[in-house]
A and B are shown apart, each in its own frame.
Chain A
Amino acid sequence: MSGARQIAADVRSGAVRARDVVEEHLERIATRDGEINAFNLVLADEARAAADAVDARVAAGDDPGPLAGVPIALKDNLCTHGIPTTCSSRILEGWRPPYDATVVQRVAAAGAVAVGKANLDEFAMGSSTENSAFGPTRNPRDPSRVPGGSSGGSAAAVAAGFAPLSLGSDTGGSIRQPAALCGVVGVKPTYGSVSRSGLIAFASSLDQIGPFATSVADAALLLDVIAGPDPLDSTSSPEAHVPVLPVLDQGVAGLRIGIVDELVDAEGVEPEVRAAVLAAAAALEAAGAVVDRVSVPSVVYGLSAYYLIAPAEASSNLARYDGVRYGLRVDGPDLATMNARTRDAGFGPEVKRRIMLGTYALSAGYYDAYYGKAQKVRTLIVRDFARAYGTFDALLSPTSPTVAFPFGAKADNPLAMYLSDVCTIPTNLAGHPAMSVPFGTGADGLPVGVQVMADAVQEPVMFRVAQVLEAAAPGGGAA
């Protein structure tokens, strides 16, 4: 059995027991996660208990909710009450949060069954999940390759059939890029539309939680459960979420779709990836959309601006890991020495690199030239997108410039790794929604993802485009 909507329908009707569904998925995890390493922690006992509770509610005549009995993987930067939450970092190893993230509460309240905490690049910093302190995750489509990152465990868990749904977080592409590389659907919602209470912060003006699924409709189902205002997150938008599932099949007739020149022609975009975007555009045109090219000139500065803004915010957010209140402590004769020893022992190389970069970009004498300039570039990107959305309903680009790459291919060159996010970063800077939809294969038969972008809170339009692309995808879309 597969598909979140099918499972939920069968569990709600009593045709299938949630316990049987969870056992089937735990069996797949037991069989293959030794190889894939999608999970930092498998919650077998907790999942069985949660599934039994769902079954008891069905037996009692209650409706457990729209995700009844659906197994879900949670990125291990989402706080789970009493359950270790590591961010794949030594500095938080063994820490048990004193509360649940809002999204964790919402999926549980909708009947979903959490089966594990998914691996990530340490503190969500990376594009390959090679930066995890607990070892890399392998791509289920080709275990010699990376799954992408930073939500590599969440993407791999869905691609491997360990869970039909997962949650990730996306600061510069960390949901969309691994979705593309693993051949699944990944969504970064509008900034502020999903509560971040209990998401361990990386770069607060960019971070957003979103769904992974094997189909566009399943991703819509999960988004509709997690989105909406939350008093525990002061950056959560007060506007009610407009459900996307009901409008999914409205088609694209008459919609205006723009292919973003600067992103299809970005540095390092493989010819097969570029061809997939153009084929996707042709499919939308065949379905009645009006397709044209569009220039969004300032996105060429997106990568540079992001790698000043995100590390600057990270250097501030990660100051809290000082050996005082939680996590690792390496003792020293005085507080400052204890802080420095703890942080040197607890953080991996990429996290240190970003903290250093961000501290430098914010330091006296450099603030205006780097961080200040990057914030102004952000304004240009917002303006250019606003101009594009004056003419177009949705925009298209590659998600990742390349298909999944081999382990180690970019591990020694931070800048080459950062270029993996060149097409996904601009929408984080603008705060807009974007999603990756599998669309055929590229080099070595590996999956290619096409990115659909839309203006703020225009998820319904974005999902309609994605739904048409999924139906038109060569080979039938998601894995």
Chain B
Amino acid sequence: MSAELDLAARVVELTRRLAGPGAEAEVLAAHAAEALTRFANSAIHQNVADATTTVRLRLHLDGRTAGGSTTVTDAAGLQSLVERTIAASRLSPPDQAWPGLTPPTPLRSTPTFDEATAAAGPHERAERVRDFVRAAGGLETAGFCRTTYSSGGFANTAGQAVEGRAAEAAMDGIARLDGADGVARRAASRLAELDGAALGTRAAAKARAGGRPIELPPGRYEVVLEPTAVADILDNLASFGFNGKAFAQHQSFAELGAQQFDQAVTITDEPLGATLPFDLEGTPRGTLPLVGDGTTVAVSHDRTSAAEAGATSTGHAGVASRSWGPIAANLRLAPAPTPTGNSTPETGEGPTAASARALVSGMRRGLLITDFWYTRVLDQKSLVITGLTRNGVWLVEDGEVTAAVGNMRFTQSYPQALGPGAVLGVGAEAIALPDRWSGVRYTAPALHLKSWNLTGNASG
């Protein structure tokens, strides 16, 4: 038994003792160690690490519910957590939506776990940063190299008891030249899979190809989106479309069984290996098909949204999922079947990532877009998003990149952009990409889309 599962079990027993046998309690004890080495102006300027164990208790007592957490895990800290959660539950209004506890349920599988990544030190991260900076060949660079390790144990008064571990590594960096930025980023289950030099080379190639950008008028353009941009689409689909609470409240575009996407679109959530193998309610995680050949087949649920929607939990309970909804954090857009021998190696030449080259060569006139930035919802139901391009845009004519283009603003419905008949091509290689803000990750190929609504340029 891990230290975390032992801790969770002790808090369950303490709660039972203090609140009485009728209490329904669930406890997650999670140890999280995150280390992030950040660089800017081609030097490491922020280098941080923390290791924290947090105990979360949710208690349903006499029809009322309250939750609490603490990082103070000595006897007094745990006693305080239980006592104040009991007090909070007794003062809370009745909870009509309590979905009950997760019954004893085995984990679906034990994902692979890399001890070396979990134990990586600051020198190993700094070496990758050094390699990135050197490979950029004198261009100004910025970014981060990150390793994370988590170990969790869950127990509840219904008898569910599960534990697991996960580790992840990620690197994300830009190279800059005369106002043009190029980017390269990767996520991996093993730090050893991250090649700082390869990423620095790719970022620099993009920056060098981004000079003297032209300004294009707003309008609808055919586009090839590199995986880094596609990841933003997955992020917003997960947060606002496949969110079980939004679905239950009729705020999502999702209609189960409807052909809402092009038949080339298949999306799954694949959390195993990227995060703990169970959620905050102790529900085992597993691969969740969301869209199959263009048809929406599921949304992500915790126990509360599942009860409201007449479904079952998919293992997506989070710290605030009762308020903000259960959000899938590991979406994967399936790549096109790979023709034998068709994959091309990444190089240090030109602006196009290897994963997008075949799609670019098939575009008569349109834009190659590297990345999206600051995307925000204008209308949740239709998922109209506004945001900007970032880290490189190029004009493509007759399958060749002909000019760099200045960053542009777009205002676009994401489901509409991926709708039936709107996807002209899907890349053959799916790339694992870290979210730049949190620990989630997405896996995406490049996409060739018929239309993207660009609504502004550098002039406004």
A and B bind: no
Residues of A with Cβ closer than 8 Å to B?
Answer: none
Residues of B with Cβ closer than 8 Å to A?
Answer: none
